[in-house]
Structure 1
Amino acid sequence: MAVVELEAEFTSEPFRGEGEPPPHAALAKEAARNAGLTIDFGPLGTSARGDADALLAALPSIARAAIEGGASRLTLRIAPVGERERGEQGERGEKGTAPDVLDRIVRDVETELGGPLGELDREGKQRAVRLLEERGAFQLRKAVATVAEALGVTRFTVYNYLNRE
């Protein structure tokens, strides 16, 4: 029987802007590392890879570390390694893939606001993020990074705009 390798992506909230990562994110990362998983730690989330048994066994300690570190929410996605890439890219030439849909939503918001997102002032960028959220853009994979690039801001800034209410 072949060993199945899984990847778990987890994000914990509250998000913090610039500076050191919050304790809940750092503690979750350490729990994954202590379980012998391969880690990719970023400011907005962590990916952990390993064989299925090791990864699944580590999830309770990762969740506990995040919650005990002050996380108010922990979001988790688990998939076999390679599934994420297939899900994001679709088949070549396939219409309606996540990048195509996101590009269309961004273009629609740019049209509504009268120009490229990167040329908007701060208030305009905040409005653009609200419109994108209302239209479901942030339900798509890699949306925050794509929107941040279009706005000319960091991913942290996009999350800060999303968390403003």
Structure 2
Amino acid sequence: MRLRVEFTTEPFDLEEAPAHALAAREVIQTAQLDALDVGPFGNTAEGDSERVLSAVAALLRDSLEAGATRVSVQVNVIGGDAP
């Protein structure tokens, strides 16, 4: 099954990316996912379910440890592989 994850971390800082945002992006960028889109107010990536779910667990842990006060995550099944 393929999944798409969309996430944001807070609090926002318009001057520079906070440590929690950088931690979450690092997880996603090294998770061997595709269709990666990193932006100031949201990030998306796609991949097989095991990689996406592992990456979501790591980004939650790492971004919260780096000072995030809120992490919003949405995961969607993409393609025709839904159970």
2:21 corresponds to: 25
TM-score (ref. length: structure 2): 0.84
Q: CA deviation at 1:9?
A: 0.5
d(CA) in 2 for partners of 1:23, 1:44? 15
Q: CA deviation at 1:69?
A: 1.4
Which consecutive residues of structure 1, in runs of 5 or more, have no partner in the other structure? Answer: 83-165
State the structure with more CA Rg. 1
Q: CA deviation at 1:33?
A: 1.5
d(CA) in 1 for partners of 2:75, 2:28? 14
d(CA) in 2 for partners of 1:79, 1:16? 27
TM-score (ref. length: structure 1): 0.44
Q: CA deviation at 1:20?
A: 2.2
1:65 aligns with 2:83: no
d(CA) in 2 for partners of 1:61, 1:26? 13
| Number of equivalences | 78
d(CA) in 1 for partners of 2:76, 2:9? 18
2:78 corresponds to: 81
Alignment-mate amino acid for residue 23 of structure 1: A
Q: Classify the secondary structure of the residue corresponding to 1:70.
A: coil
1:10 paired residue among 2, 7, 11: 7
d(CA) in 2 for partners of 1:37, 1:75? 19
d(CA) in 1 for partners of 2:78, 2:59? 19
Which consecutive residues of structure 2, in runs of 5 or more, have no partner in the other structure? Answer: none
Which structure has more strand as a fraction of its residues?
2
Q: List, as ranges, runs of 4+ consecutive aligned residues in structure 1 with deviation greater than 4 Å.
A: none
Amino-acid identity (%): 38
Q: CA deviation at 1:80?
A: 1.6
| Higher RCO, Cα 8 Å, sep 6+ | 2
1:36 aligns with 2:32: yes
